[in-house]
Amino acid sequence: MENFKEILINITYLVASFLFIFGIKRMSSPATAKNGNLISGIGMLLAIVVTLMDRHIISYELIIAGLVIGSAIGAVLAYKVQMTAMPQMVGLLNGFGGGASALVGMAEYYHTSLLGFPDDGGKFLVSVGLSLLIGAVTFTGSLIAFGKLQGIVTGKVVKIPGQNVVVILLILAIFTLIGLGISQPDNMLFFELVVGLSLLLGVLLVMPIGGADMPVAISLLNSYSGIAGSATGFVIDNNMLIIAGALVGASGIILTNIMCKAMNRSIMNVLLGGWANVADTGAGDASAVDKVVKSVDTEEAAMLFSGASKVMIVPGYGMAVSQAQHAVKELMNVLEKNGTDVRFAIHPVAGRMPGHMNILLAESNVPYDKLFPLDEINDDFKNVDISLVIGANDVVNPAARNNPQSTIYGMPILNVDYSKTVIVVKRSMNAGYAGIENDLFYMDNTLMYFGDAKDAISKLVNELKAMNS
């Protein structure tokens, strides 16, 4: 009977794992992402139910209470948090996952110390050490990332003197403590110090990451949370947690690598501080001195759009901040009604988290088949009459392609400057997150359309409607 129960549990875990993998696969396309999320959720429900049936539960009442409280908080966040604040929420969720892993690892260590460590406790103690290290780093690192995105913590690069040396020494100290904890398992001080130093390490690892690198940092921290969960799975001897954590960790690393390639960066470059504080140095980048900017008003912009046959819309974080996605959808409808071909070009790191622009446009019901990634659409800008850049900055800066002295040189950009006309919707001439001037703004074929994105696009839509009526 006991063997049958174990077989049934393992089969259910296998089914849940398949649902996780299939769900992640479905999430690779915006058209199937919602369905993929549901499938993965069903897999997680199966895993939770079977785990609760398998384990010796002390108090189902506490579990139910935690479930109710956690679900209530999650529901409130899901409904109340604005789409512009979604990166911060993702950062917090990563941190909660890492913190939970560390707490479970420490609790299991205390529990086992009371019962007595087994003779072959080395594997268990190694897993505890890794769970505490990665979980604690993820927790504080994610809190710092949240603070940077929310504006509570400065988005600039912040380094302490001898930053890299301090980090390396800290890592060596943590692994030394883990080794001591394994050799002397009854001395709880070693693993408690591991937690404390790992919390500090998380802060030191993320503070040097500038705002321009936050999408990569969020993706990397998501991977950390999965690895921490997998390590905790070894601690509590749960195959499902090991598999689920490994999936999250692997997918997070793959996404991080894709985003780093999109920025012509390495993961180590991001971790060690990435761009210097170029807002202060600015060496090698364009200066606005003696450069001419041409601007248009709403009526002039509408006249240009009324004669365009092909329009490319390039969204950026400015669209998210002003919540202009619905106005952009209305602009698309008006242009298409007038016979204009409208498409969207999406840069992998536009916004503050992976897929940020795709999520916003999906929210406003822009058809998925109109969204094109950089590598698919970049060669077509030369055939475009108007490229409408809404709040994007660094991802359309030709300096990345033309200026070897630029701090973003080599970063793949959207070739909007190849279009016949470029109209940039922006509040002001302020630099983007990389802190450098944008050469695009001063080009002969570029026109600046100043104003809040939502207000500016709404006025443009109204003007086009009036012209077509």
Q: How many residues does the chain have?
A: 469
Check if the beta carbon of residue 113 is closer than 8 Å to that of residue 186.
yes
As to burial, measured by CB atoms within 10 angstroms (0-12 exposed, 13-18 middle, 19+ buried), residue 327 is buried
Count of C-beta atoms within a 10 Å radius of residue 182:
18
CA angle 230, 51, 21 (to 5 degrees): 50
According to DSSP, the residues that pair with 436 across neighbouring strands are none
Q: Is 394 a catalytic residue?
A: yes
Please name the residue that has the structure tokens 């050799």.
183
Give the distance, in angstroms, between the CA of residue 5 and the centroid of all CA atoms in the same chain. Answer: 40
> Which H or E element spans position 331?
helix 325-337
Residues 6+ apart with CB under 8 A from 61: none
* Among 285, 394, 417, 439, the one annotated catalytic: 394
Secondary structure element (H or E) that encloses residue 447, with its range: strand 446-450
CB-based contacts of 189, cutoff 8 Å, min separation 6: none
Give the DSSP H/E element, type plus range, for residue 170.
helix 163-183
Beta bridge partners of 421: 386
Catalytic residue ranges:
394
